[in-house]
Chains A and B, each alone.
Chain A
Amino acid sequence: MSDLELQQATAVSAASHAPARRRGRMPRIGTVLAAAFVVFLLAATVAPELVATQDPNEIAPGDAFQSPSLAHWFGTDESGRDVYSRVVAGTATSLLIGVTATAIGLALGLGLGVLASFGGRIADFSVNRLVEVLFAFPGLLLALLVIVVYGPGPVTATVAVGLSTAPGYARIIRGQLVAIRSSQYVEAARVLGRSPARIISRHVLPNALLPIFVLATLGIGQAIVWAAALSYLGLGAQPPAAEWGAMLAAGRTYLATAWWMTVFPGLMIVGTTIATTVLGRALTRRGRGER
C-alpha cells in the first residue's frame, strides 16, 4: 500500500463509520458559537476596559451581594464589585494560567513521550522511570512546594500546575505513540521501507495529534481548575486580581446566599474548555479532510 492508498483507506473508513458527521460546506452552528466565544475571550484579554461595564476593582460595600440585574449582569460580590466586569478583567490572567501551564506541561510531555517511544529501549526505560518519579510526587505537593519557596502568585501557580501536569501528558502521549507505532498502517509503511523520521512525521504524529489536541483543550480548563484549588487553599492569585479560579474560591463561602459569585466564573471556565474543544475538533476535521 502506498501512502496515498493508506490515507484513502483511513478516510473511507472514517467516512463510513461516522454517518452523523455531516460533510456539507457550511461550518456547524457549534463551531460558530465557539468561535464567537473565543473572540469574546480575546477581546476581554486585549481590551478588558471596552468589554467590561465597570472598574472591576471598584468597591461599593453598600451594594454587596446584589443578585444579577440590568445594572450588574452577573450580580455583585461581597465587596459590591461587579462580577461581570471582574470576570472580564480576569480573562487575561486565567487564560494565561490555563494556556501557559498547558503549554509547559504539553511541551515537556511531548518531548518525553517521543523520546520514550522512539528513542530505543534505554530511553524508554529511563523516561518511564523519570515519569514515574514525577508521578509519584503528588501534583498539589509540587505546587505547594513551588509556592512556599517562590511565594504565591499567578506565575508560580502557572509553573507549578504546568510542571505537575507534564508527567501525565508524557504518559498518555507515549501510550498513544506506542499504539500507533504498532498499528497496521505504520507497519505497512515500515514494510515499504520508509525511514523512521518519515514514519514519525507522516504517520505517527498526525495520528497522535488529535488525542493530544483534545488533551490540550481539556488541559486549559484543568489548569484553571487546579489554580482554583490553590486559591481555595489561599495560595493562588493575589487580591484584588480577578482570576476566575480565585473568584470561584472566594465565592464558595457565600454559595448558599450568592450563587452568582461562583456560577459565572465557573461557566467561564467550562465555556472556555468547550469552546476550545469544539474549535479544536473543527480544525482536526479540516485536517482530516472533513468539514
Chain B
Amino acid sequence: MTPGSPTDERRSIRGATLRRAGLLVAGAVFVLWAVATLTFFAIRLIPGDPAQAILGGPGSQASQEALDQVRRDYGLDQPLIAQYFAMLGRLLTGDLGVSYALKLPVADLLGAQLGGTLLLAALALMLAWILALGLAIWSTGRGRVASALGEGVEITAAALPHFWLAAVLIAVFSVGLGWLPPVATGTLAGFVLPVVTLAVPLAGFLAQVMRESLLDAMQQPFVVSARARGESALGVRARHTIRHASLPAISLSGWALGWLLSGAVVVETIFAMPGLGRTLLQAVTLRDIPVVTGVVLLVALVYVLMTVLTDLAARIADPRLRQEAGR
C-alpha cells in the first residue's frame, strides 16, 4: 500500500482514536487514584478518633475495651501506610467499605442517593444553559440599554446565594401562591424549586462568560466577512458566534458540575431531598470517613465521565480542536 491511500489514512485515524481512548482511560484511573489518595490523607488531618466515630459519634462514652476492639476490627491499629494500601486494595475490588455511623455498605447507601443528585444537577445545568444562552443572545449587540439590563440581571443572578434564593422561592411559590411543594418528596413538582434554585445563579455566571466571548466573536474577521457577504445580524449570531461563544462555557461545564454539587449540599438540605450533598455534609459532621471517601470518589467518577463528554462537545463546537491529536 502506498502512503496516503484512503485505507492508510483511516487506519491512522483509528490509531489516533485508540491512543486517545487509552490516554483517556489512563487519565481517568489516575484522577480516581489521586482523589482517593488525597481524600485518605486529608481526612487523617481532621482531629478526632475514627474509633469514637464508629462507637456512637461525637460525645461517645464508649469504654476503652470497646475502642480497642473496634480499632482491631477496622484495622485502625495498623500503620497509616498499611491502612492506605488496604483501602486501595478494597477499592480495586469495588468495595467502598462500611459506613461508621449507619453500619451499612457505603456502595448501597450512595447508590440510593446518586440518581437524585445527578438528576438534580443535570436538570439544573440544562436550565442554566438555556437561561444563559437566551439572555446572552437577547442582550448582546442590541444597544446599550439591553446590554446593561442583561448584564445587571446576570450579575444579580450570579450573586444570589442558594439558601436565600430558595427561601424567597418557597415564600412566593409554596406559601404565597401554593403552586409548588416546599419539600421535595420525589414528585416532579418537587423538583422544580430545587432545580431553579441551583440553575439561576449558575445561569448568571455562564451568561457573563458567554457574553464576553460573544462580543469577542462578533469582532472576529470571520464575522466581518460573513456580514460582508450579506448575512443578517441574527443569522451571523446564530450560525457563527454562538458556537464560538459556547466554547468557554462548555469548558466551564465541568466546573459547573462541581459547583452544582457544592450547591446541592445547601439545596438538598433546604428542600429536604435525599442526595449526595446532604450525605456528604452529614458524613463530615459525624466524621464518617468511608462515606466521605465514597462520595468524593463517586463525584470524581462522574466528573471523569463528564470531562470526556465535554471534551467531545468542545471538539464538535470548535473544529480547530479536532486537529489537536492526543491532547
Contacts and interface: CB of A to CB of B under 8 A. Distances in A.
Interface of A: 9-10, 13-14, 16-18, 20, 22, 30, 121, 124-125, 128-129, 132-133, 135-141, 144-145, 148-149, 164, 167-168, 171-172, 174-176, 178-179, 182-184, 210-211, 214-215, 218, 221-222, 224-226, 228-229, 232-233, 245, 248-249, 252, 255-256, 262, 266, 269-270, 273-274, 277
B162 A229 contact: yes
A62 to B, nearest CB: 27
Contacts of A252: 163-164, 167
Contacts of B158: 218, 221-222, 225, 273
13 contacts: A125-B327, A135-B258, A135-B303, A136-B296, A137-B258, A149-B45, A178-B321, A179-B248, A211-B213, A211-B248, A221-B155, A225-B159, A274-B152
Contact of A132 (B23, B247, B303): B303
Interface string B251-278: 1101101110110011000000000000
Contact of A145 (B42, B220, B221, B261): B42
A133 B31 contact: yes
B219 A10 contact: yes
A71 B84 CA distance: 62
Nearest to B162: A229
A270 B141 CA distance: 24
Contact of A141 (B213, B296, B304, B318): B296
B113 interface: no
A211 B212 contact: yes
A136 B299 contact: yes
B130 interface: no
Interface string B130-173: 00000000000111100110011001101111111001100100
**Chain B interface residue bracket vs A:** 35 or more
B80 interface: no
Given A135-B258, A138-B261, A214-B209, A129 B31 contact: yes
B260 to A, nearest CB: 9
Nearest to B325: A121
Nearest to B314: A175
8 smallest CB-CB distances across A and B, nearest first, come from: A136-B300, A140-B262, A175-B251, A168-B255, A136-B303, A232-B163, A14-B219, A221-B159
B30 interface: yes
B312 interface: no
Contacts of A136: 31, 35, 258, 296, 299-300, 303-304
Contacts of B247: 175, 179
Contacts of A232: 161, 163, 266
